[in-house]
């Protein structure tokens, strides 16, 4: 017996919600883990983080580590942190 899980519609919805439908895709979800800077607190960070964590736990194990790592910044997210989450969206756009 064979079955598969596809969440392409969910990924498309995430890309549309964050105005990244026509972004330039990247080939891997890696982010700069050593960067440390300050910036504005963005509530969208939390919602995007939750959406990506849901996706990672259900069917996209390839993004689980970077999303979980970036979720540790959820008490003090910065613009740079949001850019790192958007890189993961760009990766998903290319897959």
pTM above 0.85, yes or no: no
Gap between the Cα atoms of 24 and 4, Å rounded: 27
Q: Examine the pLDDT at 19 and tell me if it is beyond 50.
A: yes
pLDDT digits (tens, 9 = 90+) for 36-88: 444 445 678 888 999 999 999 999 999 999 999 999 988 888 888 888 999 99
Sketch the domain layout of the chain as residue ranges: 8-93
Gap between the Cα atoms of 29 and 89, Å rounded: 8
Q: Examine the pLDDT at 25 and tell me if it is beyond 50.
A: yes
**pLDDT of amino acid 18:** 85
């Amino acid at each position: 017996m064979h079955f598969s899980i596809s969440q392409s519609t969910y990924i498309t919805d995430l890309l549309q919600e964050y105005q990244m439908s026509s972004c330039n895709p990247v080939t891997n979800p890696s982010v700069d883990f050593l960067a440390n800077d300050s910036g504005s607190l963005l509530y969208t960070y939390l919602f995007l983080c939750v959406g990506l964590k849901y996706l990672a736990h259900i069917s996209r194990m390839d993004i689980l580590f970077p999303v979980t790592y970036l979720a540790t910044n959820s008490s003090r997210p910065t613009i740079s942190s949001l850019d790192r989450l958007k890189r993961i969206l760009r990766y998903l756009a290319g897959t």
